[in-house]
Amino acid sequence: MTQQRAFRVAVLTIAAIGLVVMACTSDEKESAAGNTLQAVLDRGKVRCGVNDAVPGFGFLKPDGTFAGFDIDFCKAVAAAVFGDANKVEYVKLTAAARFEALASGQIDVLIRNTTWTASRDADLKADFAIVTFYDGQGMMVRADSGINKLEDMRNATVCVLQGTTTELNLDDRFRAGNIAYKPLTFETNETLEQAFTQKRCDGWTSDKSQLAARRSAFPASAGGPVALKILAETFSKEPLGPVTRDNDSDWHNVVNWVAIGVITADELGVTSKNLEQMKSNPPSPDVARLLGVPFKGGQVSNFGLGIGADFMQKVLAQVGNYDEVYQRNVTPIGLAREGTLNASWRKGGLIYAPPMR
Amino acid sequence: MVTRVVVQRSPALRARRWARSNLFSNAWNALLTLVTLALIGFVAFVLVRFIFIEADWSVVRENRRLIFLGRFPQEHEARIWPPIWLFALLAGGSMGLWGRVNARGAAAIVVSVVLVFALLAHGANGARLGVAVVLAGGAYLLAERGLRGEAAQVRARRAAIAGWALLLPFAVVVLVAFGGAQTSRLGGFLLNILLATVAIEAALPLGVLLALGRASSLPVVRVVTTAYIETVRGAPLIAWLFVAWFVLPDVLPPVFNLDRIDLVLRAMVMLSLFTGAYIAEIVRGGLQSVAPGQVEAAKAVGLGGFDITARIVVPQALRAVIPALVSQLISLWKDTTLVSILGLTDGLGGSEAAVSQREFFGRQREVLLFAAGVFWVVAYAMSRLSLRLERSLGVGER
């Protein structure tokens, strides 16, 4: 075989293999309109748009898998639809691309710390499901700074990420309170933290969940978490939850009621641990309805969501209820649930599930 | 009879003479030397202090999987090794066949092998890496020492060329086919390398064809290729990637599943088409540098149009533009990081994602420096390879 022929054979082989691989790996595409639930069922996987850089909510673990509060809701949807929490295809999205990705059908559901606002709901053709996390902008200062409320920050320098709503909210709040201040903007949280540690600014503003995460991991060399405090005031509303496309009710209902089911289970005290016992011997009709089992020999209620009546059993077994999800993901980043907006409404919080019946 | 007088001077004296004539020949040069030395010293000090004292490299060690493989499924992880072994075999063999490793090169290789081992060799991976090293070393020794005679040399070189040509398809098949990983789960530096290799192999022939088209005497061909080149070069790569992501699925006809092609494949196609346009212009410059006499001489000996182009013009044109070409390919290698906007987790994306893990907050400098190091190593290797190619083709000498 001459050198040239060897080369020709190689090129032909490459072309042939390329064609085969192309044919084998082509992906499905769903049209933006229509019935996503059917498309998801046909595909056998939920495509979930997520973030890979929010500690506690959506991030990549060293083994290359996603974890976090938002990720668990993706898993809950997959568990409900397929009975398998692993049947999720995660699509990492930037803030800029997320709504386009949803509208063009690249993802089925967007669970990426996305705030529910009027313009997003109407203009961007998105439908917001129940709020799963109430976040809000806060201010973190050094504990020894003598600052106890925003009004103490006259002429202070505030570190903030540039080009975010955070920057706009900061300006709104300080102008409304007639507080003169100097913003110092940064591209990333890392550079911002460095500037704050070097005392180039007096305050650090961001969503409270992220401030808490940064505070809990503040390096001991700089004084550790106790060197910082987060002011009580929350000066923006950031209700976060899953998002689906407009005019896609069947799918929206599934996503919405899975999230509501996770919250309901928390209200009723059904956990992944006592699930078996609750299933075989439901203490109340509410629990029986949630789990799709008969109460004292009665009828099994089916909500007509188009997925099995026992979908919450699978969700609870594989993901757990709201409190379990919260304790697993958010508590470790230094944000206790008690006493915050994200406590159950029974304990003075805002997490409240419409009745499942 | 000529007698050579060798004057033996002590090394210290020679060094002093060298320094005086090269660094301190006059006051201005002396000042420049001192300032530069101070600057170099400062940068080196900061860098060394950071690398060896301040930095906590556990973020890289813990996340080595995320950085090199991204979201590649764990159950298919063993599949990455056969391509690596084939690569090691080919690299070792080619070095033995075409090059000679001098002392400096050998030292660099030993240092990088030790570094790679220190970072990646844990458990089974250590043994697998060991296999790669043994394969590379064995192939090198065999190629350098074991081949007797010209015929064996030639045959071995042909085998090596065929091997290199088949490496990429082999890797893709092993990684993806037969129930392997979904292409959308390819990630880390593995993804950067795959994207760059595919794009290089596709963009080079495309670029040559486009360049020939633009230099063609047929108006239709000329206009079409010119329009293509100018359109593609007229928009940033990131815009084309967005087009591939959001526009193509709606535009492409649903034949052969064209509208449902996987995201990674779309990125590969876009990178190839984009780089092809730039390469076309580089090659066009090369085509213009081929003396008209070459074509006339080829015609005079009776070569046909195709043979003139393929055997006389294009080889000389390519030879003339190797530096610009390689520079474009190095730029392509780094542009592969842009796929992170398509939701893919490449090497840089994986590195950045690592600092969102709570235990590694604030470790951005370490991961970024490491990622930069990986990019540099590959880019530098490409540059060395092109230098070697230039030397063997006698560029700048003939």
Per-residue pLDDT reduced to its tens digit, B209-222: 999 999 888 999 99
- Is pLDDT larger for residue A34 or for residue B334? B334
What is the pLDDT at residue A119? 87
A residues 220-279 lying closer than 8 A (beta carbon) to B: none
What is the pLDDT at residue B44? 95
Question: pLDDT digit string (tens) for B359-368?
Answer: 888 788 899 9
Model confidence at B396, pLDDT cuts 50, 70, 90, reads low
The helix/strand/coil state of B343 is: coil
CA-based nearest residue to A261, from A80, A117, A65, A28 = A80
Tokens 């070409």 found at: B325
Chain B CB within 8 Å of residue A13 CB: yes
- A326, pLDDT greater than 70: yes
pLDDT > 90: percent of chain A? 59
What is the pLDDT at residue A279? 93
What is the pLDDT at residue A170? 93
Q: Which of A82-86, A218-222, A229-233, B236-240 has the lowest mean pLDDT?
A: A218-222
Distance from CA of B167 to the nearest CA of A (A): 10
Do B369 and A201 touch, CB atoms closer than 8 A?
no
Chain A CB within 8 Å of residue B150 CB: no
- B395, pLDDT greater than 70: no
Sheet with A66-67: list strands edge to edge: A53-54, A58-60, A66-67
Spatial CB neighbours of A288, under 8 Å, sequence gap ≥ 6: A282, A294, A295, A298, A301
Model confidence at A26, pLDDT cuts 50, 70, 90, reads very low
Instruction: Tell me the count of A-B CB pairs closer than 8 A.
Output: 148
A280-287: average pLDDT: 93
What is the pLDDT at residue A310? 92
Question: pLDDT digit string (tens) for A58-108?
Answer: 999 999 999 999 999 999 999 999 999 999 999 988 887 889 889 888 899
The helix/strand/coil state of B346 is: strand
What is the pLDDT at residue B254? 63
- Is pLDDT larger for residue B8 or for residue A92? A92
- Whether B66 sits inside 8 A of A214 (CB atoms) is no
Hey, what domains does chain A have and what are their CATH numbers? 36-134+239-347 (3.40.190.10), 137-236 (3.40.190.10)
Chain B CB within 8 Å of residue A41 CB: no
| Mean pLDDT, rounded, of chain B | 86
| Residue of chain A with shortest Cα separation from B168 | A14
What is the pLDDT at residue A25? 44
- Whether B259 sits inside 8 A of A29 (CB atoms) is yes
- Whether A217 sits inside 8 A of B358 (CB atoms) is yes
Chain A CB within 8 Å of residue B357 CB: yes
- Whether A21 sits inside 8 A of B182 (CB atoms) is no
Strands A46-50 and A109-110: parallel
Q: Which of B181-195, B199-213, B237-251, B359-373 has the lowest mean pLDDT?
A: B237-251
- Which residue blocks in B50-123 are alpha helix, DSSP H? 58-62, 64-69, 81-98, 103-120
SS (H, E, C) chain A: CCHHHHHHHHHHHHHHHHHHHHHHHCCCCCCCCCCHHHHHHHHCCEEEEECCEECCCEEECCCCCEECHHHHHHHHHHHHHHCCCCCEEEEECCCCCHHHHHHCCCCCEECCCCECCHHHHHCCCEEECCCCEEECEEEEEEHHHCCCCHHHHCCEEEEEECCCHHHHHHHHHHHHCCCCEEEEEECCHHHHHHHHHCCCCCEEEEEHHHHHHHHHCCCHHHCCHHHEEECCCCCCCEEECCEEECCCHHHHHHHHHHHHHHHHHHHHCCCCCCHHHHHHCCCCHHHHHHHCCCCCCCCCCCCCCCCCCCHHHHHHHHCCCHHHHHHHHCHHHCCCCCCCCCCEHHHCCCECCCCCC
- A11, pLDDT greater than 60: no
Chain A CB within 8 Å of residue B165 CB: yes
Question: pLDDT digit string (tens) for B250-286?
Answer: 776 665 555 566 788 888 989 999 999 999 999 999 9
- Whether B361 sits inside 8 A of A60 (CB atoms) is no
| Residue of chain B with shortest Cα separation from A92 | B343
Model confidence at B140, pLDDT cuts 50, 70, 90, reads confident
How far apart are the C-alpha atoms of B92 and B81, rounded to whole Å? 16
- Is pLDDT larger for residue A45 or for residue A17? A45
What is the pLDDT at residue A1? 43
- A273, pLDDT greater than 90: yes
The full length of chain B comes to 398
A residues 306-345 lying closer than 8 A (beta carbon) to B: 332-333
- Is pLDDT larger for residue A177 or for residue B392? A177
Model confidence at A30, pLDDT cuts 50, 70, 90, reads very low
Tokens 């002011």 found at: A231
How far apart are the C-alpha atoms of A315 and A255, rounded to whole Å? 12
| Residue of chain B with shortest Cα separation from A105 | B246
- A122, pLDDT greater than 80: yes
- Whether B184 sits inside 8 A of A22 (CB atoms) is no
What is the pLDDT at residue B149? 77
> By CB neighbour count within 10 A (0-12 exposed, 13-18 middle, 19+ buried), where does B258 fall?
middle
- A22, pLDDT greater than 80: no
Query: What number of other Cβ atoms are within 10 A of residue A41's Cβ?
Result: 15
Q: Which of A10, A28, A54 sits opposite B166 (nearest CB)?
A: A10
Contact residues on chain B for A6, CB-CB shorter than 8 A: 158, 161-162
Q: Is the ipTM of this complex over 0.90?
A: no
Model confidence at A263, pLDDT cuts 50, 70, 90, reads very high
A117-123: average pLDDT: 88
Distance from CA of A281 to the nearest CA of B (A): 39
pTM, two decimal places: 0.84
- Whether A53 sits inside 8 A of B352 (CB atoms) is yes
Per-residue b or e along B68-79, where b marks 16 or more CB atoms closer than 10 Å to that residue's CB:
bbbbbbeebbeb
Pick from A29, A57, A65, A110 the residue to mutate for testing the B interface (most B CBs within 10 Å). A29
The full length of chain A comes to 357
- A28, pLDDT greater than 50: no
Question: pLDDT digit string (tens) for B98-126?
Answer: 877 778 878 888 888 888 887 776 777 78
A150-159: average pLDDT: 92
CA distances from A61 to A154, B65, B74, B351, B354 (A): 41, 10, 12, 11, 7
pLDDT > 70: percent of chain A? 90
A278-291: average pLDDT: 93
A287-306: average pLDDT: 89
How far apart are the C-alpha atoms of A25 and B185, rounded to whole Å? 12
Contact residues on chain A for B357, CB-CB shorter than 8 A: 55, 59-62
| Residue of chain A with shortest Cα separation from B347 | A64
What is the pLDDT at residue A29? 42
What are phi and psi for residue A351, nearest 5 degrees? -75, 110
